[in-house]
Amino acid sequence: MTRERIVTGGQLSPEEDLVQFSLRPKALNEYIGQNELREKLKVLLEAAKGRGEAVEHILLYGPPGLGKTTLAHIIANEMKAKIISTSGPALQRAGDLMGILTNLNDGDILFIDEIHRLSPFVEEFIYPAMEDFKVDFVVDKGAFAKVINMPLKRFTLVGATTRAGMLSAPLRDRFGLYYHIDFYPPEDLAEIVRRSAGLLEIDIDREAAMVVAGRSRGTPRIANRLLRRVRDYAAVKANGEINSEIAATALDVEGVDSAGLDNLDRKLLKIIIEYYKGGPVGIEALGATLNEETDTLIDMVEPYLLKIGFVQRTKRGRVASPEAARHLGLSLPDNGPQQNLF
* Other C-beta atoms lying within 10 Å of the C-beta of residue 3: 11
- Write phi, then psi, for 209 (nearest 5 degrees): -65, -35
Give which of 229, 249, 232, 250 is closest to 240, Cα–Cα: 232
Does 108 qualify as catalytic in the annotation? no
What's the confidence (pLDDT) of residue 59? 92
Q: Which residues pair with 310 in a beta bridge?
A: none
Say whether 113 is catalytic: yes
Q: Does the domain spanning 186-253 belong to CATH 1.10.8.60?
A: yes
Please, are residues 34 and 181 in contact by the beta-carbon 8 Å criterion?
yes
What fold is seen in the domain 263-341?
A: Arc Repressor Mutant, subunit A (1.10.10)
Catalytic residue at 86?
Answer: no
Q: Which of helix, strand or coil describes residue 207? A: helix
For CATH 1.10.10.10, the residue range(s) in the chain are: 263-341
Which of the following is catalytic: 5, 162, 215, 225? 162
Burial class (CB in 10 A: 0-12, 13-18, 19+), 267: middle
d(CA 225, CA 268) in angstroms, rounded, equals: 23
Active site residue 221: yes
pLDDT the model gives residue 1: 40
> Which of 21-30, 56-65, 119-128, 145-154 is predicted with the least confidence, judged by mean pLDDT?
145-154
Tens of pLDDT, residues 17-76: 677 777 888 888 889 888 899 899 999 999 988 888 888 899 999 888 888 999 999 999
pTM: 0.82
* Rounded distance between C-alpha atoms, residue 92 and residue 9, angstroms: 25
Q: Which amino acid, residue 295?
A: D
The per-residue pLDDT for range 158-213, each reduced to its tens digit, is 999 888 788 888 888 888 888 998 889 999 999 999 999 888 888 888 898 999 99
> Is the confidence at residue 240, as pLDDT, over 80?
no
Q: Which amino acid is at 309?
A: G
Of 68, 215, 225, 231, the active-site residue reads 68
318 is annotated as an active-site residue: no
Query: Class for domain 34-180, per CATH?
Result: alpha beta
Taking 70 as the threshold, does the pLDDT of residue 3 lie above it? no
| CATH 3.40.50.300 domain locations along the chain | 34-180
pLDDT tier at 313, thresholds 50, 70, 90: confident
Average pLDDT of every residue of the chain: 83
Question: Where would I find the beta strands (DSSP E) of 88-184?
Answer: 109-113, 134-139, 146-151, 156-161, 177-180
Active-site residue (options: 5, 217, 221, 318): 221
Q: How confident is the model at residue 11 (pLDDT cuts 50, 70, 90)?
A: low
Where are the domain boundaries for CATH 1.10.8.60 in the chain?
Answer: 186-253
Active-site position among 108, 113, 188, 262: 113
